[in-house]
Amino acid sequence: MVEIAGHAPGRFAAVRDAFAANFAAGEELGARFTLVEAGEVVLDLWAGHADRRRTRAFDETTLTPIFSTTKALAALLVARLVGEGKLTYEQTVASVWPEFAAAGKASITIEQLLSHQAGLAGFPDRMDPAEWFDWGAVCARLAAMAPLWPPGTASGYHPVTFGYLAGEVFRRVEGRTMGAALREDLAEPFGLDLWIGLPDAEFDRVSEMQRPSAMPNFGERNSATIAAFLRPWSQPAGRSQDEWRRMEIPSANGHATALALARLMGALANDGWLDGEDILSPALIAEAARRRIRGQDLVLPFEMSWGAGFMRNEATHPWGPGDQTFGHSGWGGSCAFADPQRKLGGAYVMNRQSTDLLGDQRPRRLIEAAYAGL
């Protein structure tokens, strides 16, 4: 039996039981689940091991790669630019990134870009997978590329390119990278253990990932799905793990604790208040989370509902019953969500990855048990 650490009050006893059951069923290596209600951390559990050899405990200091859950951080950072009056969701991408207008992309708006409607889900033409480590080269490719489908007509999930698209817009408007802004404006001031681009000094705290033995089910594979996920160059490769950790890719390589993610999402669920300070106005939170498109995704085998960079819960309900809940999930199971109706934020991280693209059953069980205790 694995020892469960942390705290869960009596009303969340079923969450602790579900957490223990995930380990007892052999579905976890190491994991953490945290809930924040009305700004207060009300549940925080962790257990297991941070390495595949099971020699290192997964504890409250363990950092975990969160893959696409990073996109929730990127969406928040863009929303803060909108709140500062430096950007609007309705303006075109080309208004801040002129080269992007090439190949019929002049009319694509920021909100279309953030809601995966731009048709730039992946690169159909052969490239060296190591090129992903060259920010300028990837952004130049994206600026020159013709969309894979008519922009604005459908969503098609952008698994990796999203980070370069949103990150380049952010950099051109703000001057800093998303990783620097996250660290300087949110992580350091509020004591949040969140990173996009990890310093070498933090490497010893990172949990070792246990990859799944099978591929996810992508459903019927079309040209967009193949470009996004299934080409040899669809993901960064050809460099060391250390270089991957250092690289800032705001779609894919964030590192975090569940506590830090839950506190941040808890603020978005609580009118933007984090430790007594307003990080985003309630009106802007609602605008960032507002539905931009809903329908069958062209890349993922799901009906999806997208806000301005946030997944919306209403289509598939991976995060409890609330239609207004929003957040993001990451490859292998991680997730972070905000429920403004119940002022609840939560996050789940783990280092044993499943093949589920969305709605991993391990956090589903925890979240369902949590809602039963509210």
Classify residue 343 as left (phi > 0), alpha (psi -120 to 50) or beta.
Answer: left
What local confidence, expressed as pLDDT, does residue 214 receive? 87
Q: Does the pLDDT value for residue 286 go beyond 90? A: yes
Confidence of residue 336 (pLDDT cuts 50, 70, 90): very high
* Domain range enclosing 53: 5-372
Mean pLDDT of 104-122: 98
- The mean pLDDT of 307-329, rounded to a whole number, is 97
- Could you tell me if 353 and 210 are in contact, meaning their C-beta atoms sit under 8 angstroms apart? yes
**Per-residue pLDDT averaged across 294-311, rounded?**
97
Number of domains comprising the chain = 1
Handedness of CA 320, 317, 255, 285 (dihedral sign): negative
Assign 101 to helix, strand or coil: helix
The helix (H) or strand (E) run that includes residue 1 is none
**Whole-angstrom Cα distance, residue 155 to residue 369?**
32
* Residue of 22, 26, 18, 39 lying closest to 265 (CA atoms): 39
Rounded Cα distance, 334 and 65, in Å:
9
At 106, is the pLDDT very low, low, confident or very high (cuts 50, 70, 90)? very high
Residue 1 pLDDT exceeds 90: no
Does pLDDT of 222 surpass 90? yes
Q: Give the dihedral sign, CA 203/204/207/209.
A: positive
What CATH number should be reported for the domain holding residue 266? Answer: 3.40.710.10
Largest CA distance in the chain: 58
Q: Which two tokens stand for residue 84?
A: 């500062």
Q: What's the pLDDT at 315? A: 95
Q: In the chain, pLDDT over 70 holds for what percent of residues?
A: 100
Which pLDDT band holds residue 95 (cuts at 50, 70, 90)?
very high
At residue 213, does pLDDT exceed 90?
no
Give the mean model confidence (pLDDT) for residues 262-285.
98
Q: What is the 3-state secondary structure (H, E, C) of 305-336?
A: EECCCCEECCCCCCCCCCCCCEEEECCCCCEE
The pLDDT of residue 301 is: 95
pLDDT for 215:
86
pLDDT of amino acid 239: 97
Look at residue 155 in the predicted model and tell me its pLDDT: 98
Residue 257's nearest CA partner among 40, 5, 59, 54 is 59
Q: What is the mean pLDDT of the chain?
A: 97
> Residue 220 pLDDT more than 90?
no
Measured over the CA atoms of residue 134, residue 140, residue 145 and residue 147, the dihedral's sign is: positive
- DSSP β-ladder status, 30-37 and 326-329: unpaired
Q: What pLDDT band is residue 264 in, cutting at 50, 70 and 90?
A: very high
Q: Does position 330 have pLDDT exceeding 90, yes or no?
A: yes
- pLDDT tens across 127-183, in order? 999 999 999 999 999 999 999 999 999 999 999 999 999 999 999 999 999 999 999
